[in-house]
C-alpha cells in the first residue's frame, strides 16, 4: 500500500516538499495512505483502517471486544490533546531554535515541557498502571505503537535532555522497551530516519554550542 511518511532528508528540514502531496493529503502532512482509490490521512484513523481492512492482523492490535476497543480509542484521543502537544511541541521548538539561531521560543519550550511532564506522569500512574501495555493489556495495540512513536521523537533532543525528561518514569521507559521488542525488527526499521536526523541535529547543536562558548570567551 503506498504511503507518505517522513524520511531523514525531509524530516524537519524539508517538510515543505509535502506541498507536492496535496492530492493524497490536502492538509500537507504525513502520514497518509492510498489503498486503491481510497485515500486517508490522520495516523489513528490509518491504524484503525489497516487493522479493519486487512484480514490476518492479530486481534490484540485492535481488539474486536467493544469495551477493549473503546479504551483504545480513549487513549488515542487523549494522546492527541496531551502527549502529542507536549512531545511534538518541545521537539519542534527546541530543534527549530537550534536550526535557526535567530529564533528562540523559550515560552513555548517551557509550556510544551510542562504538558509533556504532566502527560508522562499520567502514562506512568494511570494508563500503564494495570499492565505491561496501555489500558491494562498484556499485548501491544495500535495505541502502544502511536504513543511510543510520539515519545521516540524526544531522541532528537540532546542525550542529556532526553534522559532528564524520561528517566523519572520507570514504567514508561520499560513500556517503550517492551513495545520495541514486541515490534522488532520493524521498530528499528521505521525509526531509521529518526536516528539519521538525530545525528545531524546533535552535530548541529554541538557546533552551535561551541560557537557560542567561543563568543562568550572573547
Ligand X SMILES: N[C@@H](CCC(=O)N[C@@H](CS)C(=O)NCC(=O)O)C(=O)O
**Is the Cβ–Cβ distance between 88 and 150 less than 8 Å?**
yes
Element (DSSP H or E) covering residue 35: strand 32-35
Q: Of the listed pieces 24-32, 51-59, 101-109, 167-175, which binds ligand X according to CB under 6 A? A: 24-32
77 or 130: CB nearest ligand X: 77
Least CB distance from residue 156 to ligand X, whole Å?
A: 12
Our finding on whether 30 is near ligand X (CB under 6 A) is yes
Beta bridge partners of residue 137, listed in sequence order: 133
28 binds ligand X (CB under 6 A): yes
CB nearer to ligand X: give 26 or 136. 26
Binding-site size, ligand X (CB under 6 A) = 9
Nearer Cβ to ligand X, position 43 or 137? 43
Shortest Å, Cβ 141 to ligand X: 16
Q: Rule CB under 6 A: choose which of 24, 33, 43, 127 binds ligand X.
A: 43
Residue from 3, 8, 21, 29 touching ligand X (CB under 6 A): that is 29
Per this entry, what is the length of the chain? 218
Cα–Cα–Cα angle for 78, 32, 155, nearest 5°?
60
Burial tier of 154 (Cβ tally within 10 Å: 0-12, 13-18, 19+) = buried
Q: Binding to ligand X by residue 15, rule CB under 6 A? A: yes
Would you say 151 and 166 are in contact if contact means Cβ atoms under 8 Å apart? Answer: yes
Residues 125-184 touching ligand X, rule: CB under 6 A, are none
List strand residue ranges (DSSP E) for 79-171, in order: none
Amino acid at each position: 500500500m503506498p504511503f507518505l511518511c517522513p524520511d531523514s532528508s525531509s524530516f524537519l528540514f524539508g517538510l515543505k516538499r509535502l506541498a507536492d502531496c496535496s492530492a493524497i493529503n490536502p492538509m500537507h502532512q504525513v502520514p497518509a495512505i492510498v489503498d486503491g482509490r481510497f485515500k486517508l490521512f490522520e495516523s489513528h484513523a490509518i491504524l484503525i483502517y489497516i487493522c479493519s481492512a486487512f484480514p490476518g492482523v492479530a486481534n490484540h492490535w485492535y481488539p474486536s471486544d467493544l469495551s477493549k476497543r473503546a479504551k483504545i480509542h480513549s487513549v488515542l484521543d487523549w494522546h492527541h490533546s496531551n502527549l502529542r502537544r507536549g512531545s511534538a511541541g518541545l521537539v519542534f521548538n527546541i530543534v527549530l531554535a537550534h536550526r535557526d539561531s535567530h529564533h528562540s521560543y523559550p515560552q513555548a519550550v517551557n509550556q510544551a515541557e510542562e504538558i509533556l511532564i504532566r502527560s508522562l506522569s499520567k502514562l506512568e500512574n494511570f494508563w500503564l498502571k494495570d499492565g505491561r501495555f496501555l489500558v491494562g493489556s498484556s499485548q501491544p495495540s495500535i495505541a502502544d505503537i502511536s504513543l511510543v512513536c510520539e515519545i521516540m521523537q524526544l531522541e532528537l533532543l540532546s542525550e542529556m535532555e532526553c534522559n532528564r525528561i524520561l528517566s523519572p518514569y520507570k514504567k514508561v521507559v520499560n513500556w517503550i522497551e517492551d513495545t520495541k521488542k514486541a515490534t522488532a525488527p520493524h521498530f528499528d526499521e521505521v525509526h531509521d530516519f529518526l536516528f539519521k536526523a538525530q545525528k545531524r541535529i546533535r552535530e548541529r547543536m554541538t557546533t552551535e554550542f561551541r560557537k557560542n562558548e567561543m563568543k562568550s570567551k572573547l
